[in-house]
Amino acid sequence: MKRIGVLTSGGDASGMNACIRSVVRTAVSRGVTVMGIRRGYDGLVRGEVVPMDAASVGGILNRGGTILLTARSERFRTREGQAEAVETLQHHGIEGLVVIGGEGSFHGARVLGTEWGVPVVGVPATIDNDIAGTESSIGFDTAVNVALEAIDKIRDTAASHERIFVIEVMGRSVGFIALEVGLAGGAEAILIPEVPFDIHAVCQRITGGRRRGKISSIVVVAEGAADALEIGRQIEQITGLDTRQTILGHIQRGGTPTAFDRVLAARLGFAAVDQLLAGRRTCMVGTVGNAIEVNDIDAAWTIEKKIDLSRHQLAQVLSV
């Protein structure tokens, strides 16, 4: 294999640039040419391909987002669009592809691999951390730390005004961000899709804390669990306590990647190139127990990634 491609797809995640850098410089060190595909599968369909070398990825390690840009592609969902994507790969002599992204990106990679015979390796990069086959995906740690910094600041004003704050974090249909940031931030309640909740029980925890001398409380809500605005209204109605709501939103996608995400991205980018050059097809790389693990790419959605509920129990014990 003398020439490979790399693209980023789906929602951006801090650390994608570090992974691009790792892919490019690893490949170059093996005598392999790298072509960057801009705007994900949409760019692959449209032929937006640029040459990359070691110098082209200099100075990007500390940058959030992705220098290759990302976009969703309805065209690629069609058979005609997929044929155009494969034609782009063939036209540029690209013999293998590294796809950096989340579950949707991996579905696209699987189509290229199984239906069109393109050697492809997926690298998990999503702040939601919902991909099986890896304990952490690129961008998750940064998103948690961005959210935690915001919650720490909100706690200052919550205490000053003796208020309840309901804070919604991202995560799509899973509660990994909410649980991690809620535990780290000492939230009085953490609402996640994986654990059913009773709003009256939540209110009892809050009022119980007030009786013990707490003057403020933080409730972290995963976007897939409930609407933070409605939860805030219910809490204020039931408890009679002054309540405010904050939706952190896309601030969690940006920011300088943490050291953890940079190192993870470096390791996974290196491993992805290794797998391509070794002849492995339609697979993904991840880390389990700090070791690199390789799985079939469809493991990302055929295996359910379960949240550690003992952490939720720990948060409840510590938030009294």
* Residue 296 is among the residues annotated as catalytic for this protein: no
Compute the Cα dihedral for 24, 26, 29, 32 and give only its sign: negative
Output DSSP code: residue 76: G
Choose, from 12, 128, 130, 261, the residue flagged as catalytic.
128
Judge whether 297 and 282 are in contact, CB under 8 Å: yes
Angle made by CA atoms 241, 143, 97, in degrees to the nearest 5:
150
49 contacts 36 by C-beta, under 8 angstroms: yes
Handedness of CA 23, 91, 89, 273 (dihedral sign): negative
How many angstroms separate the Cα of 202 from the Cα of each of 147, 177, 189, 206, 209? Answer: 21, 19, 7, 6, 11
Distance CA 77, CA 41 (A): 9
- Known catalytic residues? 128
